Structure 1
Amino acid sequence: MSVFSSIEGLLRNAAGWTAIAVFLATYAFIAVGKLPGYHLDRAGAALLGACLMVWLGVMTLDEAIAAIDFDTIALLLGMMIVVANLRLSGFFHWVNDWVVQRARHPLALLATIVVLSGVLSAFLVNDTICVVMTPLVLELTLRLRRNPVPYLLAVALASNVGSVATITGNPQNMIVGSLSRMSYGDFAMALAPVALIGLGLTVLLLAVFYRQEFLTREPFAPSPARPARYLPPVILKSLIVLVAMVLLFLFGQPVSKVAILGGAFLLFTRRIKAYKVYREIDWPLLVMFAGLFVVVAAFERVAVTPGVIAAVARQHLDHVGVLTLLTAGLSNLVSNVPAVLMLKPFVVSLPDPERAWRVVAMASTLAGNFTLVGSVANLIVAQRAQSAGVPIGFWVYFRVGAPLTVLTLLFGVFWV
């Protein structure tokens, strides 16, 4: 019996170390984003990691499915459908035209772009706002013969800062909301002031670093806009649904249920074919989330023992500054969503987990502004600008993003 027990123990340890290796490899791939000679993307890496955990016997298939937080998946999918309807209806083009008619000076235009990007990101997910705002800002600034770089930086920076305000602002906040069971209103009350101060700092820093662009007091020369196609009934319907969803969020209704029902209701239409909405949805992101939930759950099972949790707890994670630094550093190392999932077992064991979750949400989001590769939102803006012949390099972004990150994190630590 002792021989068989020893063999069984060795096999269990081997499976555990293999599971840890799979976890580390998955996170390393997500951090780097590619493997030379292969076309595997982050979503595929997360899915492969999850499947290996099941194949290695760390989890059964039923346990892997149970590990997926479908509340987060439903919330993200519902918000994507809402944004898709707004985009296909021409709502964002309409907003762009409204901006052109009123913001007639460079500084006013910058402030308007920052406010729009930040506010829209707070309710409609920052990555999707960068997708729709970047081409509009590019077209607008080139048409007005302005330097597009500071305005594009405004989209990226403000979308990250603004998204810190609510649970629906970005994917990591959605995970925090689901794991912490924090109400939408409590989350917003705690972190919306951080977002507001951050948006003000975004305008200030961009105006300082690009003062030659904003010193002029001359109004923009009139420039006709390209005709855009609007669907007013769809715009109105989408905005009504969005407002109703936010009100239900604030009244304490489950955000995932409200979001997916709102999205499903918007699919009931005669004006936009459903397949056009489906093309707007970031399916790989949903796959990556599902895979990461399984990979992290398997890692917790084999590696996050009570002893490990106690050892981490002795590092003073209950101190806001320490947890902020750890979260920010981890977010820049492996990206914000994986960082939040990795911190889960340690946060839930802290004396005040709700406050700790707010810190994690704040730090993981604001840390995305530190470098160009700090968040997907930044990369979306940079890639779309590059395709239009407007390069935004690492150092161009860093000289504004780094000080903004430090300042906003300092205020966040003070406020939270």
Structure 2
Amino acid sequence: MFELKLQQRKRHILHIDADAFFASVEQVLNPTLKGKAVLVGGPSEKKGIVSAASYEARKFGIKAGMAMYLAKKQCPHAIVVNGNFEAYRSFSKRMYEIFCKFTPDVEMVSIDEAYLDITGIKGDPAEIAKSILVEIYKKLGLSASCGLSTTKTVAKVASSMNKPHKLTVVPAGSEKGFLAPLSLRSLPGVGPKTFEVLDRYGFKKIGDIAKLHFSEVIEIFGIKGITLWKKCKGMDDGEVNPDKSLPKSISKEHTFYEAVNSEKMCIEALKELSVQVFSKLRLYEMKASTIFIKVRYKNSFGQKQGYRDISIQKNLGILASSDKELFPLICDLFLANHQKGEVVRLIGMGVSGLVQNYNLSLFEDSSRADRLFMAVDSIKSVHGKATLNYGA
């Protein structure tokens, strides 16, 4: 039986994740919230969803994405704040500046987490990691958790193991053993379709994949399965790339608790999703050149049980970030491709082809709209998301 010999490079990779970032920033900005259950979201205690919850609120089983009224039912004394995107962006930039004091190899993967490569940096890697966490707390008042290992994959898994405000070290040579007992769902970068295949074969733990022989991997998953297999063994040569600090795409999805066949409800869901996507696009000070939608249909009577997905994208030929420009195009894309009469279980939308340092002189027509919707974002962050809405 042919076997592939693997050897992991000895590197020192950190994954640092700010703990309950949005809620923690709110507690720093308003010290009276310290030690209290804080929910970021809204627009009110009866409407909207939870964007973030402080650890005091999480003790009551509250998670991001939960309906606000359910969160308040589980934790009646929780304090709801609408959020402040300008503040979150400011804290993120300051955290990035702290990272750069220790190493130039910093890859921001979201507003509140980053990979750092400290290989070759003078000093004990664990002590360097501790120093970074202490610096974040002293300068920003935020706690962060950190994973230290030889790969990005293991470092990210490790950072989530002992939250909040903990450092988890996985030494070289122990990566496979560390990952083995963990659920496959704790492995980053594995999508829903892959999980369907894994479940079909009865794979539940990371170790279930890691112990396969190379030939078995090829037989079950094909060539594409090698990358997953290597990650399950703790092998990952992915580089920390500062050029990947900005998102390549931004998207949101909504699952209907009861499948619907109403175009109006789908459009309303798309509007709610687009508000989140476009505001995040402006948060990164970016513009998009491509839009896309995703629709999951429930199979009709007489068809094979289950669901089927359609995904459609459209290159705009322009760069845009305002609701006024993008939302009508999202609606048109949906209406042109929606299979009328079919029952919809999930709907999603997003933007890609993102550019940050665009030449403003090329976009005179849209710059006014950009400023308008950035002002709207600021007003919403102070007075609530329901204060102003784009009327399509």
Fold equivalence (TM over 0.5)? no
Q: Which has the higher contact order (CA 8 A, sep 6+)?
A: 1
Larger helix proportion of the pair:
1
- Larger % of strand: which? 2
Instruction: Give the TM-score category using the shorter length.
Output: under 0.3
TM value normalised by structure 2: 0.24
